[in-house]
Structure 1
Amino acid sequence: MNFLRSIDPVWISLGPILVINLILLTSLLYFLATRDRWPVPSEVKTRPNSKFLSGVLKHWWYWNNEPIGKFFMRLGWTPNTLTFLGFLFSIVAAFFYGNGLFGYAGWLMLFGSTFDLFDGQVARLTGKVSRSGAFFDSVMDRFSEGIIFLGLSFYFRDSWILFFLLLGLIGSMAVSYTRARGEAVGVDVKKGSMQRPERIVYLGCASIFEPMTTYGLNFIWPVPPPVLVIAAIVLIGVMTNVTAVYRMIYVMNELDNREKAGIETLPKMLSRLTTPEGREKLRSEWKQKKLGS
């Protein structure tokens, strides 16, 4: 651990970033130039664009990692093995988060989360797609995310940031639960701005750039806090709960439309407030009622 701390913090961020980002940028530019050649994966089709992560970037990320998935397939690794490996990376990332080594933690978390793509790709390529595998993957995702929050909570245990970490943990679990519960009652809901991919990208990127940011702030701030990580935590803490509430309203509205057609219910009204057309219609109805009174 002392050896890791002795490394110039700038290079924790800058060293891998210069190499990896150059490779990824080249890959992205090539993908954008030839995008029409590559079929859109079902995972991207079924996940609508969010305000925090575009569908084009999701498509590119799946395309970019497909060769790695094929490599694991040739090694004979099973999808469940890859899922569990991703979880192990999350454990190590949580350890680094707990010790304040955000740069290392960010890379480990992003790399571990990428296994979530590999297991699905290997399952499709080998014809081993199964409901038990999908269930195992979903459960391990929750464990992986929870242990990351645990590591961060240990580091920020005496800080006000702990409140937003707990808020983010509750919101993250609620986002997943509203989807699972919605599907159980016959409503497919994958809407929302802060789903798991967005949470991983924002926290991971903030962590990777944190050592470099802290190094720069040292010139004007004797002991700067990890501002990028804090910003990501606050954003996740707020937006996960917004997403969960939005999903809850959406599911309730869908169920009310089936069971209470023609009756104005609170979920229906709240759902209409989420679209410009719905808000305009509510405004017109309110004006008509006001004129009528």
Structure 2
Amino acid sequence: MPSNPELPNDPDTRSPLDVSRLRKVLVDGAGGSAGFYERLDVVEETGSTNADLLAEAASGDRRVLLAEFQSGGRGRHSRAWNGIPGAQVIVSVLLKLPGVALPDLGWLPLLTGIATVDAIHEVTGVPAELKWPNDVLVDGRKLAGILVEVASTAPVPTVVVGVGLNVTLTEDELPVPTATSLMLAGARELDRTRLAEVLLTSFGERIRQWERHGWDPTAAADAYRDRCSTIGRRVRAILPGDTELHGVAVNIDEQGRIVIAPDGDGEPVAVAAGDITHLRPV
């Protein structure tokens, strides 16, 4: 899609998040929808929204923290993930899940991915896809990342779910050449407040749906498979211990693991954790 490099020079494209509007919709439940969240805050700058909520996990639930700028964010495997002021949606949610079995917490990144992709589609029209387990891609380039961290497992599983979405980053501002932004992908709308509102609404609806299904994580399995570009692709999986597995990703199983049919002979392997790279077809 064509990019529009002039947009970041327009002050409206990097205007502050509208915290009053977000609270009205997401906490107060304006417009006839019940507010899912108990508290929502926006800070000008922080090291990590995930770390901030993890530090307060014992005293909160359904709390949202957004940051205009994040200076010490972390991705999977403690990789650095920082921001550009006013150019991204950086958000974390603190959530208590009293009915969820601990093995099923692995589905949270997948549910978050569904909510993120659906929000991108609805607001911007950008054809984003999921790369297992927690990356959002467009044309093979990373648009958003998801990090779920467990704060505690007793007496109630408590987690922090973080999302970082690139909105108006220019090519020069991208952290790596394999990243992209909504602006570079030709988004029809770049309103960060609208994006945060729809993303958090979608996430809340996914959690409510999960609860209505008795916390059965497979209730969202088909929705994830429909949005996941990893399924059907040749992949390389770097597994714990730096062993490699090459093959075709054929499914997501009931535990949210990616199932890979190895090249050559061998039974399919369910991978719970590992770095996945999409490969070109043989």
Give TM-score, length-normalised by structure 2. Answer: 0.30
Give TM-score, length-normalised by structure 1. Answer: 0.30
Larger strand fraction of residues: 2
Larger helix fraction of residues: 1
Higher relative CO (Cα under 8 Å, sequence separation at least 6) belongs to 1
